[in-house]
Chain A
Amino acid sequence: MSQKFLETEGPGWVEQGIISAEQLQQLRALYPEQPRAIGLLPLLGSLLVGLSALSLIAANWQALPEWLRLAVLIGALVAAYAASEYFLRHGQRSLGTGLAGLGLILFGAGIVLTSQMYQLVGYDVTGLLAWVVAGVLLTYLYRSRFLLLLAVAIGALAQGYSYAELSTYSYATLVLTAAGLGYYWWRRPDSLCGAVLACGLLWQAGLLIGYLHIKITWFFVPAMLVYAAGDWQPNRPAARALQAPPLVAGFLFMLGLAMFGEAGSYTDMLRPHLAAYLGALLLVFGLSVAGKRARGHFSSATDWLLLLPGFYFPGGLPLAIAALVVLYAYSGAVLWRGNYEQSADRINLGTALFVLTTMVAYFKLTWEFLDKSLFFLLGGVLLLGLSWYLRRRAVRTLPPSDQR
């Protein structure tokens, strides 16, 4: 609860006799004003000073002797951590954590520049791995969400570099991100961190699929593993944030299949060995459903409708239609859950997905057969009618207080 909220709403509560004036005072004392905007200014300032020093050194970098370059790198690193320690001791947590993040970035820059100095870049991923380890370690030591986000980014960067430049895959980076940062998130769940962590893991999973040269649909096994982890997390908002990226990926993939599946030229890349793929997916499904049961939100099992493997249908129209059926099943389920749980957000989301799917379906199924002006006219009428109907249902379903 913010101080501002108490300021604006508090007097009203006192007037209506909900709380007494003394209780309002007590509440205010409970939530002291946080000088947050001011806390961010020194952070930005320190970043700018750091950048200017960096550009000055970078401009003269090659002219410096090697030992001096190393000394500058290590000196900047130690100074950043020491300053972070100083500000943390004096209670300036945001500035202190920001400086620790700067230290971590300087460590990465130090590894890269030292390796370049001795022409060691490109040899292996040890240096990048050390950076990831440092990121995970600092996340735990500082117990900071900011450092967690930074560590996820470093992991994504290290993996991307290994894949693109060294044509290898760093399993250690994947394990450190999934287990190291994942466990931290598990103990201290948080929405923003959950979403970013899931994106980082999906990125690394995608690179793994590319590295192993296996069918791209295998991607959904690790992706849904991330989703299943969210099912076991007791903190629902944080868990939903972790589960959103895998679902978005699944929806976009199906949408792509519905739109371009007819081409058939790449459908070979979609079909893994049926028994192995379904077996692995069912295993993850079991894990997810068990989590949903244990945590008491079984109705969200409809999310799995997106994973119906419609891509086993032969290429061409059957594949596109199978993908559309999956999309309709999913967006219909979101709408149904929104109605059932009386959640305005979910109804809105379901409506948007439903309309999007209908647009794709309409485009897919009629573009070839209809006169173009008739196509657009009918399409427009269909969309208007659909959105009017869904809106009316939503208004009817939701209690009047939600209609503000």
Chain B
Amino acid sequence: MPGFFDPRTPLLPKPHRRGLQLAVAAQVAFLLLVAVAGYAVGHFGRTIALRTMPVDPRDLLYGDYVVLNFTISQLDVKQWRGAQPPRVHQPVYVELRPTPDGSYAAVAIYPENPPHIPASHAVLRGWVQSNWRTALRIRYGLERYYVPEGTGARLERRTGSRPLLVRVNIAPWGQSRITEVAER
């Protein structure tokens, strides 16, 4: 590619040098922010457990992550509490309550963050992925668990088609992340 890096272009003037330093600093700050956010969700967040659907082990593992399909991924449209019918891609808030076996189940789906819920209940943010006549498919951003190399295959072999128990931390500001994936 002749002239691709044109050596005749003058070197950067001084103000741009300052801009560059700021740009690099901003990139470092952003990476630190991602790490701090991840750490803070784990530290300040409230832990709940979600159960996955039994999955075909052949579908489970994609490279270095496990695909998780929760019991709360597909919900009855009767649980919808909005005035308007739900739309695809719409952000929603799913109210969860603890069940006797230790995991959480969905109570209701709201278009806005519900202000008054019992203290034992939790709210998880998600998006409507698809909208059928009787059911809503909801994505929480928790559908992937990145596993240390090699252990994914082990998880797959052990679980077979049994459900998994996934521990999720929900931060007070709504962000959530998986902290642990265990077999039941």
B16 at the interface (CB under 8 A from A): yes
| Chain B 1-23: CB-based contact to A (< 8 A → 1; otherwise 0) | 11111110101100011011001
Given A91-B11, A146-B5, A168-B127: A119 touches B20 (CB 8 Å cut-off):
no
Consensus secondary structure, chain A interface = helix
Tell me how many residues of B have a C-beta within 8 Å of chain A: 46
B35 at the interface (CB under 8 A from A): yes
Q: Which of A110, A121, A144 contacts B31 (CB 8 A)?
A: A110
Given A39-B5, A141-B16, A168-B127: A121 touches B23 (CB 8 Å cut-off):
no
The residue on B at minimum CB distance from A138 is B23
CB pair B141 A122 closer than 8 Å = yes
CB pair A115 B34 closer than 8 Å = yes
The residue on A at minimum CB distance from B149 is A62
Q: Which of B38-46, B51-59, B93-101, B110-118 contacts A (4 or more CB under 8 A)?
A: B38-46
The residue on A at minimum CB distance from B180 is A119
The residue on B at minimum CB distance from A67 is B35
Q: Which residues of B contact A134 (CB under 8 A)?
A: 23, 26-27
Max count, chain A CB within 10 A of own CB: residue among B12, B20, B35, B141: B35
| Chain A 74-105: CB-based contact to B (< 8 A → 1; otherwise 0) | 10011001000100110101100110000100
CB pair A168 B20 closer than 8 Å = no
- A-B pairs under 8 A by CB, number: 125
CB pair B142 A122 closer than 8 Å = yes
Given A118-B39, A122-B143, A137-B23: A74 touches B7 (CB 8 Å cut-off):
no
| Chain A 121-133: CB-based contact to B (< 8 A → 1; otherwise 0) | 1111001001000
Q: Which residues of B contact A34 (CB under 8 A)?
A: 7
CB pair A123 B141 closer than 8 Å = yes
Interface positions of A (Cβ within 8 A of B): 2, 34, 36, 39, 61-62, 66, 70, 73-74, 77-78, 81, 85, 88-89, 91, 93-94, 97-98, 103, 107, 110-111, 114-124, 127, 130, 134, 137-138, 141-146, 166-168, 192
23 contacts between A and B (CB under 8 A): A66-B35, A73-B31, A74-B28, A81-B20, A88-B12, A91-B11, A93-B9, A98-B5, A103-B24, A103-B27, A110-B27, A114-B35, A118-B34, A118-B39, A118-B42, A121-B144, A123-B175, A124-B141, A134-B26, A134-B27, A137-B23, A144-B5, A167-B89
Interface positions of B (Cβ within 8 A of A): 1-7, 9, 11-12, 16-17, 19-20, 23-24, 26-28, 30-32, 34-35, 37-39, 41-42, 89, 127, 129, 139, 141-146, 148-149, 175-179
Additional A-B contacts beyond A89-B11, A120-B37, A123-B175 (14; CB < 8 A): A62-B148, A70-B32, A73-B31, A74-B31, A77-B27, A81-B24, A85-B20, A107-B31, A110-B31, A115-B34, A119-B179, A122-B141, A134-B26, A167-B129
